Structure 1
Amino acid sequence: MARPIWSGTLTFGLVSLPVQLFSATESHTIRFRQLERGTSDRIRNKRVNERTGKEVAAEDIVKGLETDGEYVVVEPDELDEIAPGRSQALEISGFVDLDEVDPIYFDRTYWLAPKDEEHAKVYALLHEALSRTSRAGIATFVMRNREYLLAVKAEADVLAVHTLHWADEVRDPKEEISTTPGKRKLPEKELKTAVELVEALDMEWHPEEYRDTFRERVLELVEAKAKGETYEKAEPPPQATNVVDLMDVLQKSVDRAGGKQRKGARKGGGLERLNKKQLYERAADADIPGRSSMNRDELIEALGNAS
């Protein structure tokens, strides 16, 4: 069972609900060790006093913020003393339509659970109310010496908490990027063909069909090197489309997308009903080269050709 990363009280109106916060996701990133080249010696980071060069124990390290050329030292208990609700309150200030929140504001997702069975009814009431109204509660709370803006939303059978960026944390693209085209008049024929391409590549969203193929390639690389074998290199990235040939490339893309769908239906032999993971497993059984970098349509086409 997962352990809560925060415990406190969720409030909405005059209602208070003891809750616990759990991580909703986990990272499968491959983490390499740092070694000295030519050896198996680990490289370790140390906390070192930059003036004396001596290592400093963790308990002797405090937080400091520079002001006017000098550091003001702040102790952990002083941060706890000024935290709203002493870091134990998650207060919903109001409810909004979640569609009104721009996706750029979303950061991380957590699960919210009642702290005990005694308060399960209050939890269920809030969950059902959010489900029926299709709304999310906007709240703030403090965790690990940082205040967060949150959206509390009802999922299938649990409350989800999405941490949100503060407004002043979201960068203005007009100020940050000099190459954005802005509003411009586009050739109607090219625009129509681009819309056709988007519609031709329409698909349903099935997150289980996607996986970290680079992670798989890294594991294959490590396995091959451990056995002294060669490894398959990825294809070079495609070259940028020549603006002069844009209309021709768009039309060929539309034709190719339509052709893939027809070909897949003819040759698929039921492959269209499989998700990407199942297609990849069949491609692995058939020893189809380059399968790890293929998308779903390419896997269907390769399996159809192989059969």
Structure 2
Amino acid sequence: MRAVWTGAITFGLVNVPVKLYSATQDHDVSLHQVHGEDGGRIRYQRTCEVCGKTIEYADIDKAYEEGGATVVLTADDLKALPVERSREIEVVEFVPSEQIDPVRFDRSYFLEPDANAAKAYALLLETLKETERTAVVQFSLRQKTRLGALRAYGDVMMLQSLLWDDEVREADFDAVKNPPKVSAGEKKMASSLVENMAADFAPDRFTDDYQEQLRTLVAAKLEQGDALDTAATFGEEPEAEGTADVIDLVEALRRSVEANREKRASSSGGAGGEKEGAATKKPTAKKAAAKKPAAKKAAPKKTAEKKSADKKAPAKKAAAKKSA
């Protein structure tokens, strides 16, 4: 990684020299514009509307226009600003981490400590972890004064630039001002759907389908050229089933719960089948157990017959004596 900024974190009398690295990167397939007929690249030129010449980027200055007057600001003018010269990430205050709304997060950066500041860096990192607080900071980067959140991210400190208060819009919608009433049944069914779809967030389970399909398309185009049948390669878009006739919100939620259950059952595979098999075996065992007492009851019957046979035997002996 290449450092995008070098400076120091300052809080109180403590100064921690650090380097700033971008914590995120773009994974999109890089595309450029061409002329559809002959494939020629489309180039953009910076042309001066006064002299008509093509201007190099190094010769371009910035300007501000107001009331017909134009003020040109050169690179040296901008560098002369005190804030632009600042190389400090100044800690203003420490706030509870949950008080910073995620809507304010802009860009994320990793902070690497200087070799001589490793202990001070580790101290601040551990303090942020234990207190569960985030440092609100101010710093200057790329000709802008920025507000930032300095927080613990695993074993490193992360600096996230924040949007200023006037950069976050208000949600000015009629539906928000006059919300419709929600019935208890609808809330119960919606809660059931949420519980049914509950899981721990694992970002590695998700993929950028568009970029994957775009790479497949590029590879197929390289192999087959214009002869590629795109519709045959990717197929037609499937139509959504069972949504056109669903009007009742509760019914729609109920169907969603059932569909998600079926989806989870199919994804679980053989594990679910084994459970079902085990469940079907249990009643059989119970039936077998129920039959065993019946077999035991048959035994007393035989003893009764035996007793009656024993009674008849003395009777026969007595009759034999009389006849003698």
Task: Report the 3-state secondary structure (helix = DSSP H, G, I; strand = E; otherwise coil) of the residue aligned with 1:227.
Answer: helix
1:221 counterpart residue number: 217
Structure 1 residues 241 and 95: CA distance shift in structure 2, 3 A: farther
Gaps in structure 1 of 5+ consecutive residues: 271-307
Amino acid at match of 2:196: A
1:235 and 2:237 aligned: yes
2:258 counterpart residue number: 255
| Structure 2 residue corresponding to 1:136, chosen from 134, 137, 141 | 134
- Alpha-carbon separation, structure 1, partners of 2:251 and 2:125: 52
**Residues 118-172 of structure 1, C-alpha deviation per residue, up to 9 Å, x if partnerless?**
1111101100110111111100111111111100001111000111100000011
1:211 and 2:207 aligned: yes
1:192 and 2:188 aligned: yes
**Residues 212-270 of structure 1, C-alpha deviation per residue, up to 9 Å, x if partnerless?**
11101001112222333432146257497667332211111112223333444453589
Aligned residues with identical type, % of pairs = 35
State whether residues 80 and 87 of structure 1, in contact with CA within 8 Å, keep that contact through their aligned partners in structure 2.
no
- Alpha-carbon separation, structure 1, partners of 2:247 and 2:177: 17
1:124 and 2:122 aligned: yes
**How many aligned residue pairs are there?**
266
Amino acid at match of 1:165: L
Structure 1 residues 227 and 268: CA distance shift in structure 2, 3 A: farther
Mapping of 1:76-155 within 5 angstroms? 76-84=75-83, 86-114=85-113, 116-155=114-153
Structure 1 residues 179 and 39: CA distance shift in structure 2, 3 A: farther
- Alpha-carbon separation, structure 1, partners of 2:255 and 2:143: 55
Mapping of 1:155-174 within 5 angstroms? 155-174=153-172
State whether residues 90 and 141 of structure 1, in contact with CA within 8 Å, keep that contact through their aligned partners in structure 2.
yes
Task: Report the 3-state secondary structure (helix = DSSP H, G, I; strand = E; otherwise coil) of the residue aligned with 2:247.
Answer: helix
- Alpha-carbon separation, structure 2, partners of 1:208 and 1:100: 27
Gaps in structure 2 of 5+ consecutive residues: 274-324
Structure 1 residues 75 and 178: CA distance shift in structure 2, 3 A: farther
Structure whose CA Rg is larger: 2
- Alpha-carbon separation, structure 1, partners of 2:9 and 2:111: 10
Structure 1 residues 238 and 81: CA distance shift in structure 2, 3 A: farther
Structure 1 residues 242 and 98: CA distance shift in structure 2, 3 A: farther
2:8 counterpart residue number: 9
How far apart are 1:180 and its partner, in Å?
4.3
- Alpha-carbon separation, structure 2, partners of 1:217 and 1:158: 35
- Alpha-carbon separation, structure 2, partners of 1:181 and 1:198: 25
- Alpha-carbon separation, structure 2, partners of 1:94 and 1:220: 49
Structure number with higher helix proportion: 2
Q: Aligned-pair RMSD on alpha carbons?
A: 2.3
- Alpha-carbon separation, structure 2, partners of 1:135 and 1:262: 42
- Alpha-carbon separation, structure 2, partners of 1:143 and 1:112: 14
Task: Report the 3-state secondary structure (helix = DSSP H, G, I; strand = E; otherwise coil) of the residue aligned with 2:42.
Answer: coil
